[in-house]
Amino acid sequence: MKHTLKRQLRRLATERPYQLVATSALALALAAGAGAVVTQIDDPAETQTTTVVAELREEPAASRGLARVATAPSSAAPSSAAPSSAAPSAEPGSAPSSAAASPEAASADPDLAGEEAAPKAPAKKVLSYDYQAQINGWYCGPAAVRNALSAAGIDRDQETLGAALGTTYAGTNSARDTTRVLNAMVKGSPYRTTMIPGGAATPAQMDQLQADVVTAISDGRGVVVNVAGSVTDTAGGWHSFPGGHYVAVVGYEDEGRMVKIADSADPSYYSYWLSTIDLANWAATRGYSS
C-alpha cells in the first residue's frame, strides 16, 4: 500500500505536473478554510518529487481573526473617521436649521433688549419752594425765575437775576431770556423754550404744556411762564396783566390738568390753582420755560 501511494504520487509529479499544481492549490484552499497547516516536504525544483501532507486542527479564534484581517481586500471602505463626502454642506446665505434656532432669540424684541420702561410720573406733585414777592413793579421776571430756582434748592437774589435777564423798566423781554438764565443756573441746562404765538392756545399746545409741566415738576424743577391778559383761578380769584407778567409753576395735580402758580405780584395772594387749559391760553402770544 505504501509503495502504491508513492508510485501514484511520483507519476503525478512526472507525467501531469499541472494536476499537482491544481491539487496543491485545492488542498491549500481547503486547508486555509478549515484552519489546516500545509507542509511542503520536498523541493520539486531539486528532486521533482513533492509530498503534500495536510494536517487539520482547530486554531484559536484569535488566529482566525488575524487571518481575516490579513486577507481583507484592499478595496475595503474607508474608515468612518475620515470626513464623509456624502454629508451636505451649508450654502452661503441659507437659513439656519430650525433645531439650532433658539426660541429666546426668535421671540426677542431688539427694540426692547436691555431697556427698562421709564417710571410713570405721579398723578400729583407739589414742590417745596421759597416764595418771594417781586421787589418792584417791573421785576416780575427776576422774581418768577428766583421762585422757580428755589424749588430746585438754588438761591439767587432778584438783582443778580435781573441783571442776567436784561430786565429794564419795561420788564423782561421774553421766555427765551428766562430759559437762558435758568439753564445758566441749573446743572445740565435742562430748560427749553416753548412759544404759543397765536391769540389762543390750540389743543396740541395745551397738551404740550401739560406734559412739559409734569416732566419738569417730576424732575424737581419749577416752570416759568410769560403771560398776558386776564384769567380766573379755581377759587374765583381774578388776575389781570394786560401788559404782560411772569409767574412760576411749582406743582400739579390730576396728572397735570391742574397747576399750582406762585405769583410774585401780590404777597397776600401769592399762590393759586389754574387749569392747564387756562394757563395755556393765558400764555398765548408769549411762551414758557420748562
Could you tell me where the DSSP H helices lie in the chain? 2-15, 17-34, 44-47, 61-70, 103-107, 140-151, 158-165, 175-185, 203-218, 276-282
All structural domains of the chain with their residue ranges = 2-69, 125-289
- Tally Cβ neighbours within 10 Å of residue 117: 6
Cα dihedral 27, 28, 31, 36, rounded to 10, equals 120
Predicted local confidence at residue 58, as pLDDT: 40
pLDDT tens-place values along the chain, 290 residues long: 545 545 555 554 454 444 434 434 433 343 344 443 433 434 444 444 343 333 333 444 333 333 333 333 343 333 333 333 333 333 333 333 333 434 333 344 444 444 566 678 899 999 999 999 999 999 999 999 999 999 999 999 999 999 999 999 999 999 999 999 999 999 999 999 999 999 999 999 999 999 999 999 999 999 999 999 999 999 999 999 999 999 999 999 999 999 999 999 999 999 999 999 999 999 999 999 99
- Residue found under cell 409741566: 213
Burial 3-25 (b: 16+ CB within 10 A, else e): eeeeeeeeeebeeeeeebeeeee
d(CA 151, CA 217): 9
Nearest alpha-carbon partner for 26 in 16, 36, 13:
36
Task: Show the CA angle centred on residue 149, arms to residues 262 and 134, nearest 5°.
Answer: 50
194 touches 209 (CB < 8 A): yes
What superfamily in CATH does domain 125-289 come from?
A: Phytochelatin synthase, N-terminal domain (3.90.70.30)
Question: What is this structure's pTM?
Answer: 0.61
CB 290 within 8 A of CB 206: no
What pLDDT is stored for residue 224 in this prediction? 98
**In what helix (H) or strand (E) does residue 271 lie, and over which residues does it extend?**
strand 271-275
- Buried b or exposed e, range 253-275, using 16+ CB within 10 angstroms: eeebebbbbbbbbeeeeeebbbb
Look at strands 287-289 and 223-232 and give their pairing.
antiparallel
